[in-house]
Amino acid sequence: MSVITGISASQGVAIGKVFLKKEEQVRVPIYTLAEAEIPKEIARLKEGLDKTAQALQNLHDKAKADVGEDEARIFDVHRMLLLDDEFVEHIETTIQNERVNAEEAVAVTEEVFANMFANMEDAYLRERAADIKDISKRLILNLLGQEEKSVAGIDYEAIIVAKDLYPSDTIQINKNFVKGLITLEGGKMSHTAILARTMQLPAVVGVGEAGDEIQEGDILILDAKKGEIIINPSEAEIEEFKKKQAEFEAYQQELLKYIGTESVTSDGQHIEICANIGRPSDVPAVLENDAEGVGLFRSEFLYMDSPEMPTEEEQYQAYKIAVEGLGGKRVIIRTLDVGGDKEIPYLNIPKEENPFLGYRAVRVCLEMKDLFKTQLRALLRSSVHGKLAIMIPMIISVDEVRRSKELIAECKAELLAEGVAVSDDIEVGIMIETPAAVMVADLLAKEVDFFSVGTNDLTQYILAADRMNPKIADLYDTCNPAVLRAIKKVADDAHEAGIWIGICGESGADTRLTGFFAAIGIDELSVSPSSVLEVRKTVQSINAAEQKANLHQNWNI
Amino acid sequence: MKSIEMSITNEAGIHARPAGEIVKKAKEFSSTINISKDGKAVGATKLMSLLSLGVKQGDVVTITAEGDDEEAAAEAIAHVIRTEH
């Protein structure tokens, strides 16, 4: 046995057999055909095409039923590319002219088209090279009569080990069998990490080269909280693990007692505990964990999971599911937060030296007004199904807030003129995640209905410490007094202006800080669904007045 | 021959989905339909070629149709480009 470590991406422990999801190298056989064999070979190709197209159709239908049309669309695009006349003709011509078998003809064709896309200037089109490779691989495997290695087919208690997982993989995960996730790449905020937290799956990410040691069929123990992986554990370690698992389950069981209880400190101060989500399909987890609302719906996943711009109607349907699903509890949807570490190929935003200080979030939206208005219209339309609030990210000035509010008003007027209903009671708030917003929080508070502190970015901006850089990981400290003083100033400014303030970054779930938040009068904490009950338990255990009296002593404030 | 020149207003240009819709529509007509940008013309029934044009927002493309139903064909393709996002 050996032990390797990575970055903790979620909670929980798991044991399972390795399912290795590698970039598979398909061995393509090459042989020459006799003239007379060619028609038979072309018929075999057609059969393979049919089978592959059907498989893609099935994937599309399953994804559509499980997670919605948006995330299913990638399979539709793949099917269109597969059945494209040019692609098929190129394969047929290669079989005829080169007298080679269908598999080799597909491989030759794949290279021609993938290269064509890979050499294009446009970032969106370059991504299509990966699509060509994907469909070609599927087709070759079908021609060879080999099963595709898909996570959907896992039928034993498994831990998936992959370089990274893509949305098309993750939507196929069956939680009855998949017990944990390990990725060699990615950080705490990677797609896989966020998904694991929402799905409440134990996950360790960013394992690096150490992960290469893991072989197909190995037994792994995964301690997600510690970020630790034990490869082929001994009997004693399995025993130890079982104890831990029982403890974790007992703790989870104990937390269930907090369902239906109030999030009130021992001296009667109420702190609303809401959930952060990324997709409409996360709504059940919000309800199961008894969150008091959605404090952050990250809308960018609608854009990132899709090969192209989601339409107003598609966005409306997604927002509607969340707004309606919460049955009148508030749902705060954050407008598109692209840029920084979140790239959306089809927007063609050029690479920047300093993406976290660059063209991102509201800066993009205020310039690409059509894009912003499409989202705002979809949001406003969803407002009639429950209690919607809109939140704008990356604000640094009053001017940005005013321009955003003008666009919201403009969209609302347009919709009303078109005879579309819009709620009259939509709160508009902003993320406080830049030092600039902290400094002018008093001015911003006069413009909006609420603040929500994005502690992940705020911490890195205040401390000038990149949260992705492992070398300075110790500097990135969410409990640093500089960060906490900034949050306290913002809370004071918010309350002075009579608006409410929440926390929606990772700090919100950090129970070391719950006392601090209570002391400065934070009104709402928004955390991943799986953390709601733990935070509620912590809130109930603290005395806010006591925390307030000890603010200076505890936190150097 | 019928020809229509139009500029692309869709923010993402002619990306995968609109291109797919163009191909489907083009196959409904007997005319030969081409779409060209900067002098490079491709058949409207060919998805990969269509994508490879790399049409972006603000680009000007020309639709040409030749055949019995050229008038309707060119109009129909222009309609798809205008409305499919």
For residues A436 and A356, give the distance between their C-alpha atoms in angstroms, rounded to a whole number. 14
> Which pLDDT score, from 0 to 100, does residue A449 have?
98
Q: How far is the alpha carbon of A364 from chain B, nearest alpha carbon, in Å?
A: 13
Whether A41 and A33 have beta carbons less than 8 Å apart is answered as: yes
Per-residue pLDDT of A42-54, as tens digits, reads 999 999 999 999 9
For residues A299 and A280, give the distance between their C-alpha atoms in angstroms, rounded to a whole number. 10
Q: Single out the catalytic residue among A274, A365, A411, A504.
A: A504
Residue carrying the six token digits 């209903």: A421
For residues A11 and A165, give the distance between their C-alpha atoms in angstroms, rounded to a whole number. 19
Whether A17 and A219 have beta carbons less than 8 Å apart is answered as: yes
Which tokens go with A509? 């779930």
For residues A312 and A375, give the distance between their C-alpha atoms in angstroms, rounded to a whole number. 6
- Interface contact B83, partner A, CB < 8 A: no
For residues A44 and A382, give the distance between their C-alpha atoms in angstroms, rounded to a whole number. 49
Partner-chain contact B17 A77, CB within 8 Å? yes
Paired residues of A270 in beta bridges: A264
Q: Single out the catalytic residue among A191, A274, A385, A411.
A: A191
* Residues of B designated as active site: 15
> Which of A87, A122, A371 has the CB atom closest to B11's CB atom?
A371
Taking contacts as CB-CB distances below 8 angstroms, the residues of chain A near B45 are: 85
Amino acid at A355: P
Count, residues in chain A: 557
> Which pLDDT score, from 0 to 100, does residue A104 have?
95
Tell which residue, A388, A390, A344, A399, has the closest CA to residue A366: A399
Q: Which of residues 47-66 of B touch A (CB under 8 A)?
A: 47-49, 51-52, 54, 56
Residue carrying the six token digits 């009569």: A145
For residues A464 and A435, give the distance between their C-alpha atoms in angstroms, rounded to a whole number. 10
Tell which residue, A333, A230, A239, has the closest CA to residue A279: A333
Please give the C-alpha separations between residue A30 and each of A52, A91, A99, A107, A547, in angstroms, as whole numbers: 21, 14, 10, 10, 73
Residue carrying the six token digits 């919100």: A508
For residues A26 and B54, give the distance between their C-alpha atoms in angstroms, rounded to a whole number. 30
Whether A54 and A186 have beta carbons less than 8 Å apart is answered as: no
Which tokens go with A370? 């059509």
Paired residues of B43 in beta bridges: B34
- Interface contact B37, partner A, CB < 8 A: no
Partner-chain contact B48 A80, CB within 8 Å? no
A191 flagged as catalytic = yes
For residues A341 and A353, give the distance between their C-alpha atoms in angstroms, rounded to a whole number. 12
Q: At what angle do helices A85-98 and A38-67 cross, to 10 degrees?
A: 150
> Which pLDDT score, from 0 to 100, does residue A279 have?
86
For residues B60 and B69, give the distance between their C-alpha atoms in angstroms, rounded to a whole number. 24
Whether A357 and A139 have beta carbons less than 8 Å apart is answered as: no
Whether A535 and A525 have beta carbons less than 8 Å apart is answered as: yes
Q: E-assigned strands of A110-264?
A: 158-162, 178-183, 203-205, 219-223, 228-231
The full 3-state SS of A369-432, as one line of letters, equals: HHHHHHHHHHHHHHHHHCEEEEEECCCCCHHHHHHHHHHHHHHHHHHHHCCCCCCCCCEEEEEE
Tell which residue, B69, B14, B75, has the closest CA to residue A124: B14
With residues binned 3-state (H G I as helix, E B as strand, rest as coil), the percentages for chain A, rounded to 5, are 55, 15, 30
Which tokens go with A208? 């690096």
Taking contacts as CB-CB distances below 8 angstroms, the residues of chain B near A113 are: 48
For residues A291 and A276, give the distance between their C-alpha atoms in angstroms, rounded to a whole number. 10
Whether A367 and A330 have beta carbons less than 8 Å apart is answered as: no
Residue of B nearest to A314 (CA): B85
Whether A165 and A191 have beta carbons less than 8 Å apart is answered as: yes
Q: At what angle do helices A69-82 and A312-325 cross, to 10 degrees?
A: 150
Please give the C-alpha separations between residue A388 and each of A158, A234, A337, A375, A504, in angstroms, as whole numbers: 39, 52, 18, 14, 16
Amino acid at B54: G
Residue of B nearest to A346 (CA): B12
ipTM: 0.80
Task: For residue B11, count other CB atoms closer than 10 A to its CB.
Answer: 20
Taking contacts as CB-CB distances below 8 angstroms, the residues of chain A near B14 are: none
> Which of B12, B48, B54 has the CB atom closest to A84's CB atom?
B48
pLDDT < 70 positions in chain B: 85
Whether A450 and A499 have beta carbons less than 8 Å apart is answered as: yes
Query: Which residues of A sit within 8 Å Cβ distance of B?
Result: 73, 76-77, 80-81, 84-87, 113, 116-117, 120-122, 124-125, 128, 307-309, 311, 346-348, 368, 370-371
For residue A37, give the 3-state DSSP assignment.
helix
Task: Give the DSSP per-residue string, A195-221.
Answer: HHHHHT--EEE--GGGGGG--TT-EEE
pLDDT < 50 positions in chain A: none
Residue of B nearest to A123 (CA): B54
